[in-house]
Amino acid sequence: MWAGVGAVGWAAARFVRAVDGVVGRFRPRRGMCSGRLGCGRWHVLLPRWVLGRRVDVVEVIWSALRARAQGWGWRRVTALVGRAASTVRGWVSRFAVHAEPIRGGFAQVERWVNAGGELDRVAPAGSPVGDAVAQIGVAVAAVRRGLGAAVFAVSVAQVVAACSGGWLLRSQPPVLDRLWINTPPPL
C-alpha cells in the first residue's frame, strides 16, 4: 500500500534491458512503510516499468504474454520480443502456473475501481493464460475509467506492473487482496 511509505535513500543498482535490447543500470528508491496500514519494514520501490526480479522492462514481458494468450507459438513470440526462447518460456510458464489467481486478483481490482458497479463481461478465451490476460485488460480499462486522464499517460503494461505491485511473475501468485502499489507516485 502506498499510503505511509516515504522514499528514503536508494537500493542497490540493478540491470535492466530495454525494449531495443540495450542493457542499462538504475537504482530504485527505498522507503519505509509506516502509518496506519504500514508494516514498519523497508521496501524497494520499483518503478512502474519493471517487474521484481526481472531484467526486461514490463512492456517486453507483457507483449510476450499477450502474444501467447492469442495462441502464438514459441518461435513467433520469441521473434516478436527479441529474447531467448528459454527466457520467454520462463515468463509464460510462470504466468500460466498462476493464471487463475492472477485472473481472480484482477477481477477484484476491477470490482474495487467500479465501487460496486457493473463488471464488464469477459468472454472465455479457451485457455487459462488467455482468460487471465483478458481479465487484466478489462481491469486496466476499469482503472483508466476510474482514475481518468492521469493513467492514460501510462502504458497498459505499466498499469499491470503497478497493480500487481511489480510482482506479476513471482514464484507465488501475486497477492491482490487490496489495491496496493509498490511504485513511487504518481501511479
Share of the chain above pLDDT 90, in %: 48
Q: What is the pLDDT of residues 111-160, one digit of tens each?
A: 888 876 777 788 888 899 999 999 999 998 888 888 776 667 788 899 89
Higher pLDDT, 16 or 145: 16
Given a contact cutoff of 8 angstroms between Cβ atoms, the answer to whether 92 and 68 are in contact is yes
How many Å apart are CA 103 and CA 101, to the nearest integer?
5
Helix axes 85-97, 128-147, angle to 10 degrees: 80
Given a contact cutoff of 8 angstroms between Cβ atoms, the answer to whether 187 and 162 are in contact is yes
Looking at the DSSP bridge assignments, the partners of residue 30 are 44
Q: What is the pLDDT of residue 20?
A: 94
Q: What is the pLDDT of residue 116?
A: 65
For the chain, the domains span: 5-163
Given a contact cutoff of 8 angstroms between Cβ atoms, the answer to whether 156 and 139 are in contact is no
